[in-house]
Amino acid sequence: MNLKNYLQTDMDVVCVNTGTSALHLALSALNIGIGDEVLVPSLTYVASYQAISATGATPISCEIKEKTFFIDIDDAKNKITSRTKVIMPVHYASSAKGIDEVYNLANENNLRVVEDAAQTFGSKQNNKFVGSVGDIICFSFDGIKNITSGEGGAILSNDKEFVQRIKDARLLGVEKDTEKRYNKERSWDFDVSHQGFRYHMSNIMAAIGLVQLTRVEEFRAKRQKIVQSYLINLETVKEVGFLDFNYEELISHIFVIKAEKRDELRAYLLKNNIECGVHYKPNHLLSKYKTNYSLPKTEKAYEEILTLPCHVDLTQKEQDKVVERIREFYGK
């Protein structure tokens, strides 16, 4: 089993050392740089933004849709300029619902699509694995992702020229070094014609990843059971809202609710020894990426979102406690 087999795709797969370097390498290989703009939703981990700004390009913060937290395509459309080269949708909480609209917009405006699918490995959209179709898709395999290689990432694409560029660039730009290493034909006599990085995936990381890959369906079953249990047991709590996902198609890396009195609830859960999180502080509120415009839907989401425990070692008893404490907080 390898990534290509698992994802049932003809796309080329290139493994790298982190999800962030996957994004940076992809943008670099598209020759994105100073003066270029990349459309990206503000509600994402700062890794998406750092990958863009590392090329010299400017991330253009876009709104999200209220129901799915996916990039708001109308807002993105309004932000297209002559400098826009790429749109980077982020599959928030493992869902790619809305991706078709992104490709329509990209096709109409001659944009490349770099999907930030860091949280999405193993999830499907329209019955197909995320990553099995599309322009450029970037996964992350860090320590707590759906599968992990310790740290790691992968880039998938059908663009052969692009794929050769990222294969070379992940190994310091040494031309055809990947192929030579596999054939044990490495030589001192090589050429470099483009900027490269030390972004390749090590053997140790790959070994971990290959074993994890054999366990994806085990992880899918466990994470889906956790999500279904939250959906069923919190359904009657009117102060709690869910994202409008096709959860049966997902392996949820994180489970996010929209909660009234979020900060008080979070404090109550923490007091009861229950870790919870906020994914994420919107990037347009960070000093480095501050905008001169607001994103009301994103800012509203930031006040409401709460991530509940979701991992393959979470027991039913632990999950019952999480639910009980939430119900208790709201007086149910």
User: Is 148 within 8 Å of 172 (Cβ atoms)?
Assistant: no
Note if the bond before 280 is cis, omega within 30 degrees.
yes
Residues from 114 through 133 that contact another protein (CB under 8 A): none
Which residue, 5 or 126, is less far from another protein as judged by CB?
Answer: 5
Residues from 39 through 68 that contact another protein (CB under 8 A): none
- Which one of 108, 204, 217, 316 is in contact with another protein (CB under 8 A)? 204
- Tokens (6 digits) for 15: 């493994």
- Tokens (6 digits) for 173: 């730009």
Residues from 274 through 293 that contact another protein (CB under 8 A): 274-277
Which residue, 131 or 309, is less far from another protein as judged by CB?
Answer: 309
- Which one of 31, 100, 108, 207 is in contact with another protein (CB under 8 A)? 207
Minimum distance from residue 150 beta carbon to another protein (Å):
8
Alpha-carbon distance values, 7 to 89, 103, 282, 295 (Å)? 20, 20, 31, 35
Residues 6+ positions from 321 with CB-CB distance below 8 Å: 272, 274
Which residue, 89 or 196, is less far from another protein as judged by CB?
Answer: 196
Which helix H or strand E contains 87, and what residues bound it? strand 84-87
CA nearest neighbour of 153 among 167, 143, 139? 139
CA nearest neighbour of 28 among 57, 49, 61? 57
Beta strands in 2-57 (DSSP E): 12-16, 37-41
Minimum distance from residue 214 beta carbon to another protein (Å):
8
- Which one of 83, 194, 215, 261 is in contact with another protein (CB under 8 A)? 215
* Residue 37, number of CB atoms within 10 A of its CB: 20
Q: Give the interface size with another protein as a residue count (CB under 8 A).
A: 33
Minimum distance from residue 72 beta carbon to another protein (Å):
27
Which residue, 145 or 284, is less far from another protein as judged by CB?
Answer: 145
Q: Give the contact letters, 240-259, x = binds to another protein (CB under 8 A), - = no.
A: --------------x-----
Which residue, 139 or 289, is less far from another protein as judged by CB?
Answer: 139
User: Is 24 within 8 Å of 212 (Cβ atoms)?
Assistant: no
The SS3 of residue 62 is strand
Minimum distance from residue 56 beta carbon to another protein (Å):
29
Burial class from Cβ neighbours inside 10 Å (0-12, 13-18, 19+) for residue 298 reads: buried
Residues 6+ positions from 34 with CB-CB distance below 8 Å: 56, 57
Minimum distance from residue 212 beta carbon to another protein (Å):
6
Q: Is position 1 an interface residue for another protein (rule: CB under 8 A)?
A: no
Which residue, 26 or 213, is less far from another protein as judged by CB?
Answer: 213
Q: What's the CA gap between 199 and 15, in Å, rounded?
A: 9
Residues from 129 through 188 that contact another protein (CB under 8 A): 143-144, 147-148, 150, 186
Residues from 306 through 325 that contact another protein (CB under 8 A): 307-314, 318, 321-322
Q: What's the CA gap between 262 and 309, in Å, rounded?
A: 15
Which residue, 53 or 272, is less far from another protein as judged by CB?
Answer: 272
Which residue, 54 or 312, is less far from another protein as judged by CB?
Answer: 312
Minimum distance from residue 275 beta carbon to another protein (Å):
4
* Strand 136-140 with 128-129, pairing: unpaired
Enumerate binding residues for another protein (CB under 8 A): 143-144, 147-148, 150, 186, 203-204, 206-208, 210-212, 215, 219, 254, 273-277, 307-314, 318, 321-322
